[in-house]
Each structure stands twice: as structure tokens, then as C-alpha cells.
Amino acid sequence: MKLIFERGEEGQGLSLMPACDVPVVKPQSGYAREDKLNLPHVSENELSRHYSELGKAVHGVNDGFYPLGSCTMKYNPKINEAVAALPGFTGVHPLQPEETAQGCLEVLYDTEKALAEISGMDSVTLQPAAGAHGEFTGLMLIKSYLRFKGEKERVKIIVPDSAHGTNPASAAMCGFEIVNIPSAPDGCVDLEALKNAVGKDTAGLMLTNPNTVGVFDKNILEITKIVHDAGGLCYYDGANLNAVMGVVRPGDMGFDCIHFNLHKTFSTPHGGGGPGSGPVGCKAFLADFLPGVRVKKDAEGKLHASKSPKSFGNVKAFGGNFLVVVRALAYILTLGKEGIPEAAKNAVLNANYMQACLKEDFDLAYNVHCMHEFVLTLDRLHRETGVSALDLAKGLLDNGIHPPTMYFPLIVHEALMIEPTETEPKETLDEAIAVFKQLKKLAYENPQALHDAPTKTPVRRLDDVKAARTPVLKYKFQ
């Protein structure tokens, strides 16, 4: 494919801007640009075709099955896109007077209330822009609370070795020391290891439940109690909330704060990597520290935004990724009180069905009923055929399936983490299962075919080493 800089020719372009109807003012020489500005020079047709061509070289949720574990690639409903494009939302300036933005404030208010109910928390902020940003926010809540209480010696955050990389990275950004604890053989929290890890220096624990191997930790109440007894707080990483929303609530499990991923659980699209939205919910005792503004309703039903008394500041300019929140609210309104648990239960059903079918041919990392996702280990296949999890994943590409998450969690060798989500019909699951089984057969018959895969994609395997050793990070203009 040509780069957009390689199309069109100098002098070409769209006619977008009118002539100036006031006296022209340009920057004085000290402030004027001298460097040539190299940008594309294409007609609208060339521009449009260029991006159509790029679009054809992308696999979206709309293009096929996307069982990417821990990412919850569910269908993105069209009504969400339609309401997010309403001019009544897109045209509102973030700093316009609040009486002229009542609709936006109501979107925030309603979404905060719904998320609080779903998570069993008391307050929610919609300011964080993504999951990791939510982690940062939640940890800052913990830090601010501990500072307020004068417990400066609590500097350690406990993170299981199966955690997402963002957990330790976020804790480090908040100035915490990280204590990694090993998982028990069943992939759950090792209670003894946890008991040994907590102490007077414990600020808190970060956990997903269901955890990253797709299992609901049955000891969850004991886990949160151990941390609380030691004087620490419990943070719930909402990456896996899709398995339990409407069924069981993090607030009832003993967690003090949580981040949501609206782009996972609440059906907003991933956009090729973002924008997402990572609201943070917390129990009442943390609410005064929340960042951004709180939206409150007065007796006449008018909405007002104000800062919390002990707010630790802002994590982002303005109120958050608002249009993502609009989409999530449309989704919550659509599903309602029954639809939300129905989605969770069907996500769990689909995952267990795939697991039941695939365990006939593959090894499960943990042979128990799973929640919304499960982990295969291709360790044996790798040893016997030389075909790795990566090779199998590349084989899936040739069959129009986006591969599962590979090599995660780190505690499982040759891991493939599969999350079908509730929005796939049984038919799709059956087709995918057949492909998995066929690829396993191929691994034993003709492993080279899988080492060579993919062959039907726009490009074949790319040289990552070359890209990293001699980085070419932009186009070089002539």
C-alpha cells in the first residue's frame, strides 16, 4: 500500500477554507514558521480511496470473531454510535455555562448512578480516559486517603504475579512500591502468600475477580478481609467485570474502589486502541477525594457540577471521554436491570461451551468451570510439534479469526486466553472450534505450514527485530 505522502502531487488539495473577510494578520517574524510544512497533497477522491484501502487491511469486530481474552471485544451496537453523533452532544463546549449543558450533566449523572449500582459503590467519577488511567485514579484515591489519615508508612501495593502489566505500572506512577505475590496452583490468590505480604506498610491490593485465568476466586471475602485487617485498601481492576455484572458486585466482595472499562464491559468500540473510558467508583469514605467535578441534582431537578471538598485534583482536562460515556449510557439503558446480568451469564455460557469443546483437543491451564474467559496452554503441543501459541495464532488469521490473547497471563506457558463474549451466536463458536481443532491436526501433520502462517493476509509475518534495531518511525520526505 502506498503511504498518503506518496499519493497526489504538490499543489493538489481540497478547497475547505474561505477567503478572509477581515484584515489579514500574520505572526511577526520572530514568531513565524520558517520550516517547510510537509503534509499530504491529495484530492478528496484520493484521500477517500486511500483510507478505504487502509480500512480493507483492518480486522474489526464487524469483520469476524474476536475472542481476545481480557479485552472483551463484544459487538458495538449501532444505536450507540448514532446517539454519540448527535449535534446536541458533539457541539457542547466543555466550559459553557452549566445551565446550557444540562443534557451533558444529566448523561454524567445517570451514568455515574448506574455504574455505582452495578459495582456496589457509592460514587463514581467519569474523568479517567482509559483503564490504566482509572487505575492511576483509584490508586491516587487510596494515596490521598492514606495521606489524609497520616499513614505515610503505607507505601506498598500488593499485586499478584498474574496481573495485567498496567497494575504494577500504575502503582509505580503513584509512587508506590510493588510487592508481587505468587499465585496458588489453581491460579487464585495464595492466601498464605498474601498473609505474609501484608503489614503496617501495606497501602492496598490490586486484583481482578474473576482473575486473569478466568476463575472467580472463591476466597474473595477472606482476601479482602486480610488486606483490610492489615489496614490496607482493596482495588478492583474492572477488566473482567463482564463476567459478573448484575450477578455479583465488587462492592459486596469487599473492594473499596474499582475502575470500569466502558470499552470492554459496556460495548463502546475500541477504535484501534482507543479512545476508551475508565470511570472509577469508590465507597463513600473515599468519595471526597475524587478528581474532577461531582454532578449533583438540586430540589428542582437542575444539575450542578462542583469539586469535592478534598479532591486530589484532575487526572485529565475537562470531564472525561464524554462521547464514550454517551455510548455506554445508551447501552445501559438498552439492557436495563435484566439485560445486564443476561449479558454476563451468556458471556460465561459461551466461554464454558468453547472450553468444553476445546478441552477435547487442547490442554486447559486450569481444568475448572471458567467465567467469561479461559486459558489454554499449548506447552505440550509446542514440545511435540514445535508449533507455538504464536504459530497457532497466526494460523487463525488465515481463517478470518482474530487470535486470542497470547502469552498472557505470564504464569501460564504458551498461553492462549480465549474470551468469546456474549454477542457471538453458537454457530460462530462452533465454526471457531472447528478451526482450532483443524489447526491442531495440522500442527502434527505439517507444522511448517503453521510456522509459515499467515499467507492470506495483506502482509506476511513482519520483522519485529529489524523494526526495533533500526527504528524507522516516520516517512522521510524527499
**Of 391-410, which residues contact other proteins (CB under 8 A)?**
393-394, 397, 402-403, 407-408
Stretch that binds other proteins, among 101-109, 192-200, 379-387, 435-443 (CB under 8 A): 101-109
Is 205:181 a contact under the CB 8 Å cutoff?
Answer: no
Binders in 418-437 for other proteins, by CB under 8 A = 422-426
Q: Look-up: residue for cell 475537562?
A: 318
The least CB distance from residue 437 to other proteins, in Å, is 14
Q: Is the peptide bond before 210 cis (omega within 30 degrees of 0)?
A: yes
The least CB distance from residue 181 to other proteins, in Å, is 14
Task: Kindly state the DSSP code that residue 152 receives in the 8-state scheme.
Answer: T
Give the one residue of 148, 153, 221, 444 binding other proteins; rule: CB under 8 A.
221
Binders in 312-331 for other proteins, by CB under 8 A = 312-324, 326, 329-330
Stretch that binds other proteins, among 84-92, 193-201, 229-237, 281-289 (CB under 8 A): 84-92
Tell me the site size for other proteins, rule CB under 8 A. 203
The least CB distance from residue 241 to other proteins, in Å, is 13
| Cell numbers found for residue 262 | 466502558
Is 389:414 a contact under the CB 8 Å cutoff?
Answer: yes
The least CB distance from residue 165 to other proteins, in Å, is 4
The least CB distance from residue 298 to other proteins, in Å, is 15
Is 423:74 a contact under the CB 8 Å cutoff?
Answer: yes
**Interface with other proteins includes 32 (CB under 8 A)?**
yes
How many Å apart are CA 211 and CA 217, to the nearest integer?
7
Is 213:366 a contact under the CB 8 Å cutoff?
Answer: yes
Q: Which is nearer to other proteins, 318 or 444 (CB)?
A: 318
Q: Which is nearer to other proteins, 38 or 444 (CB)?
A: 38
Stretch that binds other proteins, among 200-208, 348-356, 376-384, 434-442 (CB under 8 A): 348-356
Q: Encode 245-264 in three state secondary structure.
A: CCCCCHHHHCCCEEECCCCC
Binders in 289-308 for other proteins, by CB under 8 A = 291
| Cell numbers found for residue 414 | 504458551
How many Å apart are CA 365 and CA 362, to the nearest integer?
10
Stretch that binds other proteins, among 139-147, 282-290, 375-383, 442-450 (CB under 8 A): 139-147
Q: Which is nearer to other proteins, 38 or 448 (CB)?
A: 38
Q: Which one, of 346, 354, 343, lies nearest residue 418 by Cα?
A: 354
H helical segments located in 372-425: 379-385, 389-397
**Interface with other proteins includes 130 (CB under 8 A)?**
yes
**Interface with other proteins includes 48 (CB under 8 A)?**
yes
The least CB distance from residue 195 to other proteins, in Å, is 20
Q: Give the Cα-Cα-Cα angle 74, 395, 460 (nearest 5 degrees).
A: 100
How many Å apart are CA 315 and CA 299, to the nearest integer?
30
Residues shown for the chain:
478
Give the one residue of 200, 296, 337, 380 binding other proteins; rule: CB under 8 A.
337
Binders in 183-212 for other proteins, by CB under 8 A = none
Q: Which is nearer to other proteins, 229 or 252 (CB)?
A: 252
How many Å apart are CA 73 and CA 56, to the nearest integer?
19
Give the one residue of 74, 259, 283, 382 binding other proteins; rule: CB under 8 A.
74
In whole angstroms, how large is the CA radius of gyration of the chain? 25
The least CB distance from residue 257 to other proteins, in Å, is 15
How many Å apart are CA 168 and CA 159, to the nearest integer?
7
The least CB distance from residue 434 to other proteins, in Å, is 14
How many Å apart are CA 242 and CA 256, to the nearest integer?
19
Is 163:189 a contact under the CB 8 Å cutoff?
Answer: no
Stretch that binds other proteins, among 191-199, 340-348, 378-386, 439-447 (CB under 8 A): 340-348
